[in-house]
Structure formats: C-alpha cells, structure tokens
C-alpha cells in the first residue's frame, strides 16, 4: 500500500504542474488578445481621427475658395419641424463665416407653416442682406413655395422657380372641426367648466360663439396684414398688386412671373452656372439627427393637437 501511494504522488504533482502551466498559458493568451483589441481600437481611432482631420482640412480649403452656399428649406416650417428658425440661423451664420462665399441659394420646397418661424427667418435673411450687401441671397422654388414658405422667399434678393412650380398662397387660415350635432344625435351632453368666459375658445364640442368668431377673424387679419407688409417690403415695385394678389390663391410659375411674385425661371444648378457663374457649391443645411427627429416626434405626440395656438402658429399653409 505504501509503495502504491508513493507512486501516485509524482503523478499528482505532474498533473498539478500541467494545470498551472495551462493556466499561465491561458492568461498569456488573454493578455495578448486584450492587447490586440486595444491596438485595433487605437488604430481605428487614429484612422477615424485622420479622416475627420482630412475632411475638415478639405472643407476649410473648399470654403476658402469662391463658392455658392446652398441651404435647403424643405418641409413644414415649424419650431419643431423640418425647417425652423434656429437651424436656419446656424446654416446662414456658417455660410457667411466662410471666406469664399459669393452668394447664397435657398432651395425651397415647402407648403408653409408657422408665421412666427417664417418671420424669424425673414428677419434673419434681411439682417445678412444688410450686413453683407455684396453677397446676395437667392430663393429657388422647386415644386411648392406656398404661404409661410413664400413669406421666407420674399426676403431674398431675387426669387426663381420652374414654370410649373406652385407659388404664392399669401393668406392665413385656421381650421378645425365641430361635433355639436353629432353629440346631439348620439345623446351625449358636453360638460365644460371654465374660469374666464372665453377659456373654452372654439371648443369643437361647443356651439360657435359670434363674439369669439369675430375675435378670431381679427387675429387672422392681423397676421395676414403682417404677411402682406413683409411681401411688399421684400418684392417692392416688382409686385403687381390686384384683388387676387393677397387672397390666398396659389399660381404656377408662369403666372407668378407675370404677377411679379418671382423674377425668372431657373433651377438652383442653372442659377449657379448662368447667373452666379461658379461651379463650386457648399451645402450649409443643418440637418437634424435621427435622435432629434425621434425626440421631437415624441414631444409632439404628447401635446394636445387641437389647441387654438397650434392652429394659428401653423396657419400659413
């Protein structure tokens, strides 16, 4: 028995040694793998940094050469929309900070939107026109340049469009629905309690009040007057005014040209080649990230959709 135990001891020691050696090898493999991963990520960061630096350097070079700045005005004009005054101001500011900027083109394809946002943008355009009078701002209407979008366009030095573009709609609207008769038919009564007799202003489940209707019309007329004044100031003597000019009608490009709403026919590319005579274009449009679009969409979905304020702020369509 003693001899057998003595024979087992070396085998146990050998096994233990093998385990220790294997463990050390595994540790070395893990350390080697970690270093490989670190080196890989370091190289990735260096390559990414190089590409960013290279892109930035090339961008600076391009912006220092003579070029045309392009800013897209596409979609609804609203504080949380695809086009808003904050992003537009950043785009315009970036463009005019570039040494090589010779002109700015606003490429517009929008049904309109908020008169407040449109007025902010209008004032920004006027500011840069006055500050940099030798660097003109042109508007190019694509498919649609209506209402608040035309409000914006009228601030530029000149407006161009396609003969088939839809241009104009210089008017203001507020719309909604009334469900009073439906409630009567199904036997439902509306229970609305307010502090302030006009707090339930244009509640869709309450009858229309004549005084409130007149009050709303006055508000719309006031906004409309501001719209008209801005268009007149922007277009000046080029505008041919008659009974239909500010009625809210929209015209195709050919009609808009006859009425002085636009100055000629050209796409952005044609304008750059034929009038400005440059071939270098830099896009300064601020585009919201996916996260920004999602967060704005979530915020909008949490807000009441039939408030009077929303109707007025999005009334230029």
Residue 240 makes CB contacts below 8 A (sequence gap 6+) with: 258, 259, 260
Measured distance CA(294)–CA(310) in Å, rounded: 20
Measured distance CA(101)–CA(17) in Å, rounded: 75
pLDDT tens-place values along the chain, 317 residues long: 444 444 445 677 777 777 777 778 888 888 888 888 888 887 778 776 666 655 555 456 556 789 999 999 999 999 999 999 999 999 999 999 999 999 999 999 999 999 999 999 999 999 999 999 999 999 999 999 999 999 999 999 999 999 999 999 999 888 877 777 777 787 777 777 788 887 877 777 777 788 888 888 999 999 999 999 999 999 999 999 999 999 999 999 999 999 999 999 999 999 999 999 998 999 999 976 655 555 555 434 333 433 444 455 446 66
The domain made up of 65-313 has a fold known as 2-enoyl-CoA Hydratase; Chain A, domain 1 (3.90.226)
Confidence at residue 294, expressed as pLDDT on a 0 to 100 scale: 52
Confidence at residue 225, expressed as pLDDT on a 0 to 100 scale: 95
Token pair for residue 12? 């146990």
Confidence at residue 36, expressed as pLDDT on a 0 to 100 scale: 84
Cα 40 to its chain centre, rounded Å, is 38
Residue 296 makes CB contacts below 8 A (sequence gap 6+) with: 80, 288
Element containing residue 19 per DSSP (H, E): helix 2-64
CA dihedral defined by 8, 12, 13, 16, rounded to 10 degrees? 180
Domain range annotation of the chain? 35-59, 65-313
Cα 90 to its chain centre, rounded Å, is 11
């Amino acid at each position: 028995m003693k001899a057998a135990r003595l024979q087992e001891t070396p085998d146990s020691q050998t096994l233990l040694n093998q385990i220790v050696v294997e463990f050390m090898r595994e540790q070395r493999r893990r350390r080697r793998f970690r270093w490989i991963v670190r080196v890989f990520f370091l190289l990735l960061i260096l390559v990414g940094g190089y590409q960013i630096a290279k892109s930035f350097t090339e961008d600076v070079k391009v912006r220092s050469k003579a070029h045309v700045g392009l800013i897209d005005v596409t979609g609804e004009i609203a504080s949380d929309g695809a086009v808003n005054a904050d992003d537009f101001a950043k785009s315009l500011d970036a463009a005019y900070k570039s040494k090589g900027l010779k002109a700015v083109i606003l490429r517009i394809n929008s049904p309109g939107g908020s008169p407040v946002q449109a007025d902010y943008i209008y004032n920004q355009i006027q500011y840069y026109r006055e500050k940099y009078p030798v660097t003109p701002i042109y508007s190019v209407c694509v498919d649609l340049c209506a209402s608040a979008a035309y409000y914006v366009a009228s601030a530029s030095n000149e407006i161009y469009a396609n003969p088939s573009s839809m241009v104009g709609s210089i008017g203001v609207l507020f719309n909604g629905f009334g469900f009073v008769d439906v409630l009567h038919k199904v036997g439902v009564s509306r229970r609305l309690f307010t502090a302030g007799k006009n707090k339930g202003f244009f509640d869709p489940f309450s009858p229309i009040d004549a005084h409130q209707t007149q009050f709303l019309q006055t508000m719309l007329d006031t906004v409309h007057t501001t719209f008209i004044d801005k268009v007149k100031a922007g277009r000046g003597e080029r505008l041919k005014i008659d009974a239909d000019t500010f009625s809210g009608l929209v015209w195709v490009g050919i009609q808009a040209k006859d009425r002085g709403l636009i100055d000629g026919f050209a796409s952005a590319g044609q304008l750059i080649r034929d009038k400005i005579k440059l071939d270098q274009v830099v896009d300064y449009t601020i585009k919201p990230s996916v996260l920004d679009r999602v967060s704005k969409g979530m915020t909008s979905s949490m807000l009441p959709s039939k408030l009077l304020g929303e109707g007025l702020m999005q009334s230029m369509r």
